[in-house]
Amino acid sequence: MASRSRVRISSLLIMLSIIGLAAAESGTTEEESKSEEFVVTLDHSNFHEFVSKHKFIVIEFYAPWCGHCKKLAPEYEKAASILSKEDPPLILAKVDANEEKNKALATEFGVSGFPTIKILRFGGSVVQDYKGPREADGIVAYVKKQSGPASVEIKTAEDATSFVDEKKIVIVGVFPEFSGEKFDNFTTVAERLRSDFEFGHVLDAKLLPRGELSISGPTVRLFKPFDELVVDFQEFNVDDLVKLIEESSVPLVTLFNNDPNNHPFVIKFFNTENDKAMLFLNFSSENIDAFKSKYRDVAEQYKGKGIGFLLGDLEASQGAFQYFGLKEDQVPLIVIQTNDGEKYLKTHLEPDHIASWVKDYKDGHVKPYKKSEPIPEVNNEPVKVVVADTLQDFVFNSGKNVLLEFYAPWCGHCKKLAPILDEVAVSLENDADVVIAKIDATANDIPQGTFDVKGYPTLYFKSASGNILQYDGDRTKEDMIEFIQKNRDKAAQQESGKDEL
């Protein structure tokens, strides 16, 4: 069978495209073609046996056609060669998740985009996401830190000064002794969250900066570069402490501008389960202070109520505008996106409008906003163009058999499919009951729950009788036409059967 690889999209990649950090695909380099000696190659036949023998291992799930994987390959190999000299050696491995025989592994580890890198601990019993750099030196430093203790002891004031970085979140446990249930629970939390935060523990609270005299008894202190700067917890139930740390590590209002120090907090903002309110405006505008003040007041009002708040600078937000289908002349604007993909929009906002509009949204009085390209004035090519505003009439209400391609303009697999899809459309153009169509899934909102578009291209067939099937066959003219004829005939038979009943 021909390759059915698709460019996978994860929520993280969507977020990275918004903040402009995703790299362009690149071709294979001469360095990548050299034989690899240090990265261990695993597959379905040896994966679990190999992992079970190691306390710590890093594994990349990749696809040979993925440009990001190609870019990572020489850096990953260089890091593996350096880490192999550690005592004991630290192992980097890889799995070709595009291979049919390895797809069960990819499913087991939740691989939805390439490359996906996982850290496996204690023979694979603990699995964590790799959240470090993707260049050799950064990989080495991150892996070495991840392979060490989950929490490091702070013994001196110099240790504390070095550990507490004013630009990132760090967490320190203060204990009278490094034993007992509370200390054990703290180390369990550190092990669970170590890929997101750095943890330390100390006997003497006076070594710590920022209000050290306020600590009495076992305490977990979270240092952060925003809001109240220091948060203390006396909660040592593992699940409750994890929740408190995660909630406190998101700014009341996440700032998104060109400062890369803010990007980790933007990533965390998009990875929360909250609804996401995003206010975009020109940070050089005269009334920026009024917007900031009113927006923060609203964020305070809804703290802990299932909605997060981000303030984005227009200059830095071009990716967001493209993703949401917004225009610069609409600012100041606020958009809210829910976890099920619904969007709500208010343009030409005034500071005093923020509180009332968010209240209307929470009360269910705001209609969803749908991103759509303009309806084509001329649509006479063999493959018809569908946009979000015509999807209902063109596909669902047409009474015809429709093969619909969801594509991205930059997708190489989509470009390769385009002439084949044209041939299918031309072959069937005299059949009035069949339509071949396409929709730019990056520029138009797709109905949630109807189409499962996780990569490009994705093809769905909607029969005249309303059956919806995903096409996952070979991408040849003959196979696609055969699929259409088979499923159209089947739909007609079903309709006939209904009439007889």
Catalytic residues, by residue number, are: 66, 69, 411, 414
3-class SS of residue 462: strand
For residue 129, give Cα distances in angstroms to 48, 201, 265, 321, 431. Answer: 18, 24, 17, 29, 50
CA distance 338 to 276: 6
CA distance 201 to 185: 12
Residue type at position 421: L
Residue type at position 135: E
DSSP β-bridge partners for residue 42: 95
E strand map for 98-157: 116-121, 126-129, 151-153
For residue 93, the tally of other CB atoms under 10 A from its CB is 20
What residue has token string 């034989």?
A: 35
CA neighbor of 338 nearest in space, from 388, 279, 273, 389: 273
For residue 62, the tally of other CB atoms under 10 A from its CB is 23
In sequence order, what are the residues at sequence separation of 6 or more whose Cβ sits closer than 8 angstroms to the Cβ of residue 331?
280, 281, 282, 314, 347, 348
Torsion sign (Cα): 288, 291, 293, 299? negative
Q: Please answer whether residues 291 and 250 qualify as being in contact, where contact means their C-beta atoms are separated by less than 8 angstroms.
A: no
Q: Please answer whether residues 189 and 238 qualify as being in contact, where contact means their C-beta atoms are separated by less than 8 angstroms.
A: yes
